[in-house]
Structure 1
Amino acid sequence: MTQPGPPEAAVLLLHGGRETGLGVPPPGPFNLPAVRMRPFARVLRGALPREVLVRAVRYGHRGWNGDRADPLHDAVRALDVLRRTAGEIPVVLLGHSMGGRAALAAAGHPLVRGVVGLAPWCPPGDRTGQLAGRDVVLVHGTDDRVTNPADSRALTERARKGGARTCLVTVPGGDHAMLRRAGAWHRLTAALVAGLLDRAPLPGPVAEALRLPPGATADEGTADLDRVLRPGGPG
Protein backbone atom coordinates (compact mmCIF):
# COMPACT_ATOMS: atom_id res chain seq x y z
CA MET A 1 0.00 0.00 0.00
CA THR A 2 1.31 3.43 -0.91
CA GLN A 3 2.01 5.53 2.15
CA PRO A 4 0.44 9.00 2.14
CA GLY A 5 2.86 11.87 1.69
CA PRO A 6 3.06 14.96 3.88
CA PRO A 7 -0.24 16.84 4.19
CA GLU A 8 -0.96 19.60 1.71
CA ALA A 9 -3.77 21.10 3.81
CA ALA A 10 -5.47 20.39 7.12
CA VAL A 11 -8.69 20.64 9.08
CA LEU A 12 -8.45 21.01 12.85
CA LEU A 13 -11.58 20.10 14.85
CA LEU A 14 -12.35 21.87 18.12
CA HIS A 15 -15.16 20.39 20.19
CA GLY A 16 -17.39 22.14 22.69
CA GLY A 17 -16.93 22.54 26.41
CA ARG A 18 -17.98 24.66 29.34
CA GLU A 19 -17.83 28.31 30.26
CA THR A 20 -15.69 27.38 33.28
CA GLY A 21 -13.89 24.18 34.20
CA LEU A 22 -10.23 23.69 35.02
CA GLY A 23 -10.44 19.90 35.14
CA VAL A 24 -9.03 17.73 32.37
CA PRO A 25 -11.66 16.58 29.83
CA PRO A 26 -12.83 13.02 30.53
CA PRO A 27 -11.35 10.24 28.38
CA GLY A 28 -12.79 8.56 25.32
CA PRO A 29 -16.55 8.03 25.19
CA PHE A 30 -17.08 10.01 28.40
CA ASN A 31 -16.10 13.23 26.63
CA LEU A 32 -19.46 13.77 24.96
CA PRO A 33 -18.60 17.06 23.18
CA ALA A 34 -15.63 15.33 21.53
CA VAL A 35 -17.75 12.30 20.66
CA ARG A 36 -20.22 14.57 18.85
CA MET A 37 -17.48 15.72 16.50
CA ARG A 38 -16.51 12.19 15.43
CA PRO A 39 -19.18 11.95 12.71
CA PHE A 40 -17.92 15.23 11.29
CA ALA A 41 -14.39 13.82 11.20
CA ARG A 42 -15.59 10.68 9.40
CA VAL A 43 -17.55 12.65 6.83
CA LEU A 44 -14.61 14.97 6.20
CA ARG A 45 -12.17 12.10 5.74
CA GLY A 46 -14.54 10.59 3.21
CA ALA A 47 -15.10 13.84 1.35
CA LEU A 48 -11.55 15.18 1.23
CA PRO A 49 -8.53 13.79 -0.63
CA ARG A 50 -5.93 11.86 1.34
CA GLU A 51 -3.47 14.73 1.30
CA VAL A 52 -5.79 16.77 3.55
CA LEU A 53 -5.14 15.99 7.21
CA VAL A 54 -8.17 15.85 9.55
CA ARG A 55 -7.20 16.08 13.21
CA ALA A 56 -8.89 16.89 16.52
CA VAL A 57 -7.36 19.43 18.90
CA ARG A 58 -6.85 18.16 22.45
CA TYR A 59 -7.78 20.43 25.33
CA GLY A 60 -5.97 20.70 28.61
CA HIS A 61 -9.07 21.95 30.44
CA ARG A 62 -12.83 21.51 30.09
CA GLY A 63 -13.73 25.20 30.11
CA TRP A 64 -12.97 28.55 28.49
CA ASN A 65 -12.20 30.02 31.91
CA GLY A 66 -12.55 33.73 31.35
CA ASP A 67 -9.42 35.62 30.40
CA ARG A 68 -7.44 32.37 30.44
CA ALA A 69 -9.16 31.37 27.17
CA ASP A 70 -7.68 27.90 27.57
CA PRO A 71 -8.98 26.29 24.34
CA LEU A 72 -7.67 29.22 22.31
CA HIS A 73 -4.14 28.44 23.48
CA ASP A 74 -4.68 24.74 22.80
CA ALA A 75 -5.68 25.62 19.23
CA VAL A 76 -2.68 27.88 18.71
CA ARG A 77 -0.32 25.20 20.02
CA ALA A 78 -1.83 22.66 17.62
CA LEU A 79 -1.37 25.10 14.73
CA ASP A 80 2.23 25.76 15.74
CA VAL A 81 2.98 22.02 15.84
CA LEU A 82 1.37 21.56 12.43
CA ARG A 83 3.44 24.40 11.03
CA ARG A 84 6.66 22.84 12.31
CA THR A 85 5.84 19.40 10.96
CA ALA A 86 4.02 20.17 7.71
CA GLY A 87 5.13 23.67 6.78
CA GLU A 88 3.03 26.53 5.42
CA ILE A 89 -0.11 24.61 4.53
CA PRO A 90 -3.64 26.08 4.48
CA VAL A 91 -5.84 25.17 7.44
CA VAL A 92 -9.56 25.38 8.12
CA LEU A 93 -10.61 25.45 11.77
CA LEU A 94 -13.89 23.65 12.46
CA GLY A 95 -15.32 24.34 15.90
CA HIS A 96 -18.56 23.58 17.72
CA SER A 97 -19.92 25.78 20.53
CA MET A 98 -16.94 26.70 22.76
CA GLY A 99 -14.73 25.23 20.05
CA GLY A 100 -16.27 27.67 17.60
CA ARG A 101 -15.23 30.53 19.85
CA ALA A 102 -11.72 29.12 20.04
CA ALA A 103 -11.57 28.69 16.27
CA LEU A 104 -12.61 32.30 15.69
CA ALA A 105 -10.12 33.58 18.24
CA ALA A 106 -7.26 31.54 16.72
CA ALA A 107 -7.98 32.59 13.15
CA GLY A 108 -5.16 35.13 13.11
CA HIS A 109 -2.59 32.32 13.00
CA PRO A 110 -0.63 32.42 9.71
CA LEU A 111 -1.80 28.96 8.61
CA VAL A 112 -5.51 29.65 8.94
CA ARG A 113 -7.39 30.23 5.72
CA GLY A 114 -10.91 29.95 7.10
CA VAL A 115 -13.20 29.08 9.99
CA VAL A 116 -16.39 27.04 10.07
CA GLY A 117 -18.26 27.59 13.33
CA LEU A 118 -21.07 25.20 14.26
CA ALA A 119 -23.53 26.66 16.77
CA PRO A 120 -20.62 28.83 17.94
CA TRP A 121 -20.38 30.73 21.18
CA CYS A 122 -19.90 34.34 20.03
CA PRO A 123 -20.06 36.75 22.99
CA PRO A 124 -20.73 40.29 21.72
CA GLY A 125 -17.52 41.63 23.26
CA ASP A 126 -15.16 39.23 21.47
CA ARG A 127 -12.75 40.89 19.06
CA THR A 128 -12.90 40.20 15.32
CA GLY A 129 -9.79 41.92 13.98
CA GLN A 130 -7.98 38.59 13.68
CA LEU A 131 -10.58 37.48 11.12
CA ALA A 132 -9.55 40.07 8.53
CA GLY A 133 -8.64 38.35 5.27
CA ARG A 134 -10.18 35.04 6.36
CA ASP A 135 -13.27 33.19 5.17
CA VAL A 136 -15.71 32.72 8.05
CA VAL A 137 -18.88 30.64 7.77
CA LEU A 138 -21.06 30.21 10.85
CA VAL A 139 -23.88 27.67 10.96
CA HIS A 140 -26.53 28.07 13.64
CA GLY A 141 -29.85 26.40 14.40
CA THR A 142 -32.83 28.65 14.93
CA ASP A 143 -33.91 26.65 18.01
CA ASP A 144 -30.53 26.69 19.74
CA ARG A 145 -31.08 27.34 23.46
CA VAL A 146 -27.43 27.17 24.52
CA THR A 147 -25.67 29.66 22.24
CA ASN A 148 -27.46 32.59 20.65
CA PRO A 149 -28.04 32.58 16.86
CA ALA A 150 -28.36 36.38 17.00
CA ASP A 151 -24.78 36.62 18.26
CA SER A 152 -23.54 34.62 15.27
CA ARG A 153 -25.49 36.91 12.97
CA ALA A 154 -23.98 40.00 14.58
CA LEU A 155 -20.46 38.61 14.43
CA THR A 156 -20.63 37.90 10.70
CA GLU A 157 -21.69 41.49 10.01
CA ARG A 158 -19.10 42.95 12.40
CA ALA A 159 -16.27 40.82 11.03
CA ARG A 160 -17.20 41.64 7.42
CA LYS A 161 -16.86 45.33 8.19
CA GLY A 162 -13.38 44.58 9.53
CA GLY A 163 -12.19 42.85 6.36
CA ALA A 164 -13.33 39.24 6.75
CA ARG A 165 -15.38 37.38 4.15
CA THR A 166 -18.35 36.02 6.07
CA CYS A 167 -21.59 34.08 5.79
CA LEU A 168 -24.21 32.82 8.25
CA VAL A 169 -26.14 29.66 7.38
CA THR A 170 -29.30 29.20 9.45
CA VAL A 171 -30.70 25.75 10.19
CA PRO A 172 -34.50 25.94 10.64
CA GLY A 173 -35.41 24.05 13.80
CA GLY A 174 -31.78 23.17 14.44
CA ASP A 175 -30.66 22.49 18.02
CA HIS A 176 -27.36 23.09 19.75
CA ALA A 177 -26.24 19.45 19.69
CA MET A 178 -26.89 19.32 15.92
CA LEU A 179 -28.88 16.10 16.35
CA ARG A 180 -31.95 17.31 14.47
CA ARG A 181 -31.19 16.95 10.77
CA ALA A 182 -27.75 15.64 11.72
CA GLY A 183 -27.05 14.38 8.20
CA ALA A 184 -27.64 17.83 6.75
CA TRP A 185 -25.23 19.38 9.28
CA HIS A 186 -22.60 16.82 8.28
CA ARG A 187 -23.06 17.24 4.52
CA LEU A 188 -23.05 21.02 4.74
CA THR A 189 -19.90 21.03 6.86
CA ALA A 190 -18.07 18.77 4.40
CA ALA A 191 -19.08 21.03 1.51
CA LEU A 192 -17.97 24.15 3.36
CA VAL A 193 -14.59 22.77 4.41
CA ALA A 194 -13.85 21.33 0.97
CA GLY A 195 -14.81 24.63 -0.63
CA LEU A 196 -12.72 26.76 1.71
CA LEU A 197 -9.70 24.53 0.97
CA ASP A 198 -10.32 24.77 -2.80
CA ARG A 199 -10.99 21.02 -3.04
CA ALA A 200 -14.52 21.54 -4.38
CA PRO A 201 -16.83 24.43 -5.31
CA LEU A 202 -18.48 26.18 -2.40
CA PRO A 203 -22.29 26.05 -2.25
CA GLY A 204 -23.54 28.93 -4.39
CA PRO A 205 -25.32 30.98 -1.71
CA VAL A 206 -22.28 30.75 0.56
CA ALA A 207 -19.90 31.80 -2.21
CA GLU A 208 -22.17 34.76 -2.98
CA ALA A 209 -22.18 35.85 0.66
CA LEU A 210 -18.39 35.65 0.90
CA ARG A 211 -18.12 38.03 -2.05
CA LEU A 212 -20.25 40.73 -0.41
CA PRO A 213 -18.70 44.16 0.22
CA PRO A 214 -17.79 45.21 3.78
CA GLY A 215 -20.92 47.32 4.16
CA ALA A 216 -23.37 44.50 3.39
CA THR A 217 -26.07 43.84 5.95
CA ALA A 218 -26.51 40.73 8.06
CA ASP A 219 -29.57 39.81 5.99
CA GLU A 220 -27.55 39.91 2.77
CA GLY A 221 -24.92 37.65 4.29
CA THR A 222 -27.36 35.02 5.59
CA ALA A 223 -28.43 31.87 3.75
CA ASP A 224 -30.96 29.22 4.75
CA LEU A 225 -29.73 25.63 4.98
CA ASP A 226 -32.46 24.37 2.68
CA ARG A 227 -31.42 26.86 0.03
CA VAL A 228 -27.78 25.90 0.40
CA LEU A 229 -28.56 22.17 0.17
CA ARG A 230 -31.28 22.43 -2.48
CA PRO A 231 -31.33 19.79 -5.28
CA GLY A 232 -28.24 20.14 -7.39
CA GLY A 233 -26.22 21.50 -4.44
CA PRO A 234 -23.93 19.60 -2.09
CA GLY A 235 -25.32 16.50 -0.40
Structure 2
Amino acid sequence: MAQHAPPARGARLGRAAGATGPGSTVSGVVLLLPGASRFPPGPVRPLARALARAGGAQGLVTHGVVPGRDAPREDGAAWAVTEAVRRYGDVPVCLAGYGEGAAAVLRAAGHEAVNSVVALAPCLTGEDGAGPPEPVRQLSGRQVLIVHGTNDARSDPEESFRLAARAKKANRATCRFEVHSDGHGLREHQAEVVALAVDFVLGSVFSGRFSRPVTDALAAPPPLGLRMPLASGFGRAARR
Protein backbone atom coordinates (compact mmCIF):
# COMPACT_ATOMS: atom_id res chain seq x y z
CA MET A 1 0.00 0.00 0.00
CA ALA A 2 1.31 3.46 -0.84
CA GLN A 3 2.89 5.48 1.90
CA HIS A 4 0.86 8.44 3.10
CA ALA A 5 2.67 11.76 3.24
CA PRO A 6 3.64 12.55 6.84
CA PRO A 7 1.77 15.34 8.58
CA ALA A 8 3.23 18.84 8.49
CA ARG A 9 4.74 18.52 11.95
CA GLY A 10 6.77 15.47 11.04
CA ALA A 11 5.27 12.41 12.73
CA ARG A 12 5.59 9.17 10.77
CA LEU A 13 5.19 5.42 11.13
CA GLY A 14 8.24 3.19 11.22
CA ARG A 15 8.60 -0.01 9.26
CA ALA A 16 5.88 -2.59 9.82
CA ALA A 17 6.70 -5.85 11.60
CA GLY A 18 4.44 -8.88 11.76
CA ALA A 19 1.79 -9.94 9.25
CA THR A 20 3.29 -8.21 6.23
CA GLY A 21 4.02 -11.11 3.87
CA PRO A 22 2.33 -11.57 0.47
CA GLY A 23 -1.33 -12.39 0.88
CA SER A 24 -1.31 -11.81 4.64
CA THR A 25 -4.36 -10.19 6.20
CA VAL A 26 -3.92 -7.54 8.87
CA SER A 27 -6.33 -8.13 11.75
CA GLY A 28 -4.90 -5.76 14.34
CA VAL A 29 -2.31 -3.01 14.75
CA VAL A 30 -0.03 -2.02 17.63
CA LEU A 31 1.47 1.48 17.58
CA LEU A 32 4.52 1.88 19.83
CA LEU A 33 5.62 5.30 21.10
CA PRO A 34 9.10 5.58 22.63
CA GLY A 35 10.18 7.77 25.50
CA ALA A 36 12.32 10.87 25.19
CA SER A 37 15.21 10.31 22.78
CA ARG A 38 17.83 11.49 25.27
CA PHE A 39 17.10 8.50 27.51
CA PRO A 40 17.53 4.74 26.91
CA PRO A 41 14.61 3.20 24.98
CA GLY A 42 13.46 0.95 27.80
CA PRO A 43 11.42 -2.12 26.80
CA VAL A 44 10.03 -0.70 23.52
CA ARG A 45 12.30 -2.59 21.10
CA PRO A 46 12.05 -5.99 22.86
CA LEU A 47 8.27 -5.53 23.02
CA ALA A 48 8.06 -4.79 19.29
CA ARG A 49 10.03 -7.95 18.48
CA ALA A 50 7.98 -10.08 20.86
CA LEU A 51 4.68 -8.81 19.46
CA ALA A 52 5.78 -9.53 15.89
CA ARG A 53 6.71 -13.10 16.88
CA ALA A 54 3.66 -13.80 19.00
CA GLY A 55 0.99 -12.06 16.92
CA GLY A 56 2.18 -12.22 13.33
CA ALA A 57 0.40 -15.47 12.57
CA GLN A 58 -2.86 -13.91 13.80
CA GLY A 59 -2.48 -10.90 11.55
CA LEU A 60 -0.93 -8.47 14.03
CA VAL A 61 1.19 -5.64 12.61
CA THR A 62 3.41 -3.47 14.81
CA HIS A 63 4.70 0.00 13.92
CA GLY A 64 6.97 2.27 15.87
CA VAL A 65 5.79 5.87 15.84
CA VAL A 66 8.35 8.60 15.21
CA PRO A 67 6.85 11.70 16.85
CA GLY A 68 7.04 15.13 15.27
CA ARG A 69 9.74 17.40 16.61
CA ASP A 70 7.54 20.39 17.35
CA ALA A 71 4.22 18.77 18.27
CA PRO A 72 2.99 17.13 21.46
CA ARG A 73 3.54 13.38 21.43
CA GLU A 74 -0.17 12.76 21.85
CA ASP A 75 -0.76 14.58 18.55
CA GLY A 76 1.65 12.17 16.87
CA ALA A 77 -0.11 9.22 18.51
CA ALA A 78 -3.52 10.42 17.33
CA TRP A 79 -2.20 10.94 13.80
CA ALA A 80 -0.66 7.45 13.84
CA VAL A 81 -4.03 5.86 14.67
CA THR A 82 -5.68 7.72 11.79
CA GLU A 83 -2.89 6.62 9.46
CA ALA A 84 -3.16 2.99 10.61
CA VAL A 85 -6.88 3.02 9.84
CA ARG A 86 -6.17 4.53 6.42
CA ARG A 87 -3.65 1.78 5.66
CA TYR A 88 -5.34 -1.24 7.15
CA GLY A 89 -9.02 -0.42 7.41
CA ASP A 90 -11.39 -1.08 10.28
CA VAL A 91 -9.15 -3.14 12.56
CA PRO A 92 -8.57 -2.80 16.32
CA VAL A 93 -5.63 -0.62 17.31
CA CYS A 94 -3.57 -0.88 20.49
CA LEU A 95 -1.59 2.18 21.56
CA ALA A 96 1.50 1.26 23.58
CA GLY A 97 4.19 3.56 24.91
CA TYR A 98 7.02 4.02 27.38
CA GLY A 99 7.86 7.07 29.49
CA GLU A 100 6.68 10.22 27.70
CA GLY A 101 5.28 7.92 25.02
CA ALA A 102 3.19 6.13 27.65
CA ALA A 103 1.68 9.40 28.81
CA ALA A 104 0.94 10.28 25.17
CA VAL A 105 -0.91 7.04 24.41
CA LEU A 106 -3.07 7.47 27.50
CA ARG A 107 -4.04 10.96 26.34
CA ALA A 108 -4.63 9.91 22.71
CA ALA A 109 -6.82 6.87 23.46
CA GLY A 110 -10.06 8.59 22.50
CA HIS A 111 -9.84 7.67 18.80
CA GLU A 112 -12.71 5.28 18.00
CA ALA A 113 -10.33 2.71 16.48
CA VAL A 114 -8.36 2.31 19.74
CA ASN A 115 -9.46 -0.74 21.69
CA SER A 116 -6.57 -0.99 24.18
CA VAL A 117 -3.72 0.96 25.76
CA VAL A 118 -0.43 -0.19 27.30
CA ALA A 119 1.44 2.44 29.33
CA LEU A 120 4.89 1.47 30.62
CA ALA A 121 6.41 3.78 33.27
CA PRO A 122 4.32 6.76 32.15
CA CYS A 123 5.73 10.24 32.78
CA LEU A 124 2.62 12.08 33.93
CA THR A 125 1.86 15.65 34.88
CA GLY A 126 -0.87 16.91 37.15
CA GLU A 127 -1.19 13.80 39.31
CA ASP A 128 0.80 15.41 42.14
CA GLY A 129 -1.92 17.96 42.83
CA ALA A 130 0.16 20.84 41.47
CA GLY A 131 -1.90 21.26 38.30
CA PRO A 132 -4.96 20.00 36.45
CA PRO A 133 -5.16 16.19 36.62
CA GLU A 134 -4.57 14.05 33.56
CA PRO A 135 -7.77 13.35 31.60
CA VAL A 136 -9.26 9.85 31.89
CA ARG A 137 -12.60 10.10 30.06
CA GLN A 138 -10.95 9.09 26.77
CA LEU A 139 -10.04 5.72 28.32
CA SER A 140 -13.67 4.68 28.69
CA GLY A 141 -14.43 1.55 26.67
CA ARG A 142 -10.75 0.63 26.25
CA GLN A 143 -8.74 -2.15 27.87
CA VAL A 144 -6.01 -0.36 29.84
CA LEU A 145 -2.76 -1.74 31.27
CA ILE A 146 -0.32 0.40 33.24
CA VAL A 147 3.04 -0.99 34.40
CA HIS A 148 5.38 0.89 36.73
CA GLY A 149 8.56 0.08 38.62
CA THR A 150 8.37 0.81 42.34
CA ASN A 151 11.90 2.29 42.32
CA ASP A 152 11.29 4.63 39.39
CA ALA A 153 13.20 7.81 40.26
CA ARG A 154 12.19 9.64 37.09
CA SER A 155 8.41 9.21 36.96
CA ASP A 156 6.65 8.78 40.29
CA PRO A 157 4.80 5.44 40.40
CA GLU A 158 2.27 6.93 42.81
CA GLU A 159 1.18 9.33 40.07
CA SER A 160 0.31 6.46 37.75
CA PHE A 161 -1.55 4.81 40.63
CA ARG A 162 -3.64 7.93 41.18
CA LEU A 163 -4.43 8.15 37.48
CA ALA A 164 -5.36 4.46 37.39
CA ALA A 165 -7.65 4.89 40.39
CA ARG A 166 -9.52 7.71 38.65
CA ALA A 167 -9.63 5.78 35.36
CA LYS A 168 -10.99 2.68 37.10
CA LYS A 169 -14.05 4.62 38.26
CA ALA A 170 -14.99 5.36 34.64
CA ASN A 171 -13.64 2.16 33.11
CA ARG A 172 -13.58 -1.15 34.96
CA ALA A 173 -11.29 -2.64 32.28
CA THR A 174 -8.27 -0.90 33.84
CA CYS A 175 -5.42 -2.65 35.62
CA ARG A 176 -2.00 -1.66 36.87
CA PHE A 177 1.01 -3.83 37.74
CA GLU A 178 3.89 -2.87 40.00
CA VAL A 179 7.37 -4.17 39.24
CA HIS A 180 9.02 -4.30 42.63
CA SER A 181 12.60 -3.03 42.89
CA ASP A 182 12.71 -1.99 39.22
CA GLY A 183 13.49 1.50 37.96
CA HIS A 184 12.28 3.67 35.10
CA GLY A 185 13.88 1.55 32.38
CA LEU A 186 12.22 -1.65 33.66
CA ARG A 187 15.48 -3.46 32.91
CA GLU A 188 15.68 -5.79 35.92
CA HIS A 189 12.48 -7.59 34.95
CA GLN A 190 12.27 -6.71 31.27
CA ALA A 191 11.36 -10.24 30.19
CA GLU A 192 8.39 -10.31 32.55
CA VAL A 193 7.24 -6.83 31.52
CA VAL A 194 7.38 -7.77 27.84
CA ALA A 195 5.54 -11.06 28.45
CA LEU A 196 2.83 -9.24 30.40
CA ALA A 197 2.36 -6.64 27.67
CA VAL A 198 2.20 -9.30 24.93
CA ASP A 199 -0.37 -11.29 26.91
CA PHE A 200 -2.48 -8.16 27.38
CA VAL A 201 -2.24 -7.01 23.75
CA LEU A 202 -3.15 -10.39 22.24
CA GLY A 203 -6.04 -10.79 24.65
CA SER A 204 -7.34 -7.28 24.01
CA VAL A 205 -6.97 -7.28 20.23
CA PHE A 206 -7.87 -10.89 19.42
CA SER A 207 -9.01 -13.52 21.86
CA GLY A 208 -10.51 -11.66 24.82
CA ARG A 209 -8.62 -14.12 27.04
CA PHE A 210 -5.83 -13.15 29.41
CA SER A 211 -3.46 -14.90 31.77
CA ARG A 212 -4.76 -15.46 35.29
CA PRO A 213 -2.85 -12.50 36.82
CA VAL A 214 -4.27 -10.07 34.23
CA THR A 215 -7.78 -11.49 34.64
CA ASP A 216 -7.50 -11.12 38.41
CA ALA A 217 -6.15 -7.57 38.13
CA LEU A 218 -8.97 -6.49 35.83
CA ALA A 219 -11.59 -8.01 38.12
CA ALA A 220 -10.19 -6.85 41.47
CA PRO A 221 -11.54 -3.65 43.04
CA PRO A 222 -9.17 -0.78 43.82
CA PRO A 223 -6.58 -0.74 45.15
CA LEU A 224 -5.87 -4.47 44.66
CA GLY A 225 -6.15 -4.51 40.87
CA LEU A 226 -4.09 -1.34 40.62
CA ARG A 227 -1.19 -2.53 42.79
CA MET A 228 -0.90 -6.03 41.35
CA PRO A 229 2.70 -7.29 41.78
CA LEU A 230 4.30 -8.60 38.61
CA ALA A 231 5.59 -12.02 39.58
CA SER A 232 9.20 -12.90 38.85
CA GLY A 233 9.23 -15.35 35.97
CA PHE A 234 5.90 -14.24 34.51
CA GLY A 235 5.51 -15.80 31.06
CA ARG A 236 8.50 -18.12 31.49
CA ALA A 237 6.49 -21.32 31.09
CA ALA A 238 5.05 -20.08 27.81
CA ARG A 239 8.56 -19.42 26.48
CA ARG A 240 9.81 -22.95 27.15
TM over 0.5: yes
1:113 matched to 2:115? The reply is yes
Whole-angstrom CA distance in 2 between matches of 1:129 and 1:200: 22
Letter in 2 for 1:151: E
How many residues are treated as equivalent by the alignment?
A: 214
**Which residue is 1:42 aligned to?**
49
Contact 2:196 2:235 in 1 (8 A): no
Whole-angstrom CA distance in 2 between matches of 1:220 and 1:181: 20
Contact 2:219 2:225 in 1 (8 A): no
Letter in 2 for 1:143: N
Contact 1:205 1:228 in 2 (8 A): no
Q: Deviations over 1:159-213 (max 9, x none)?
A: 011235111111011111121122222222211211221347312122233235x
1:218 matched to 2:223? The reply is yes
Match of 1:48, SS state, is helix
- Across the aligned residues of Structure 1 and Structure 2, the Cα RMSD in angstroms comes to 2.6
**Which residue is 1:12 aligned to?**
31
Structure 2 portions without partners, runs of 5+: 1-20, 128-132
1:179 matched to 2:181? The reply is no
- Residues 220 and 211 of structure 1, relative CA distance in 2, 3 Å threshold: closer
Letter in 2 for 1:150: E
TM-score for the superposition, normalised by structure 1: 0.81
Contact 1:92 1:112 in 2 (8 A): yes
Q: Give the CA deviation at 1:97.
A: 0.6
Contact 1:120 1:140 in 2 (8 A): yes
Whole-angstrom CA distance in 2 between matches of 1:184 and 1:16: 19
1:57 matched to 2:70? The reply is no
Percent identity between the aligned chains? 30
- Residues 160 and 35 of structure 1, relative CA distance in 2, 3 Å threshold: closer
- Range with greater deviation from structure 2 (98-107 or 197-206): 197-206
- Residues 120 and 84 of structure 1, relative CA distance in 2, 3 Å threshold: same
Contact 1:145 1:176 in 2 (8 A): yes
1:192 matched to 2:197? The reply is no
Whole-angstrom CA distance in 2 between matches of 1:234 and 1:202: 16
Letter in 1 for 2:160: S
TM-score for the superposition, normalised by structure 2: 0.80
- Residues 195 and 227 of structure 1, relative CA distance in 2, 3 Å threshold: farther
Contact 2:42 2:186 in 1 (8 A): no
Letter in 1 for 2:51: L
Contact 1:15 1:33 in 2 (8 A): no
Whole-angstrom CA distance in 1 between matches of 2:44 and 2:212: 25
1:145 matched to 2:153? The reply is yes
Whole-angstrom CA distance in 2 between matches of 1:229 and 1:34: 22
Q: Give the CA deviation at 1:10.
A: 0.6
Letter in 1 for 2:151: D
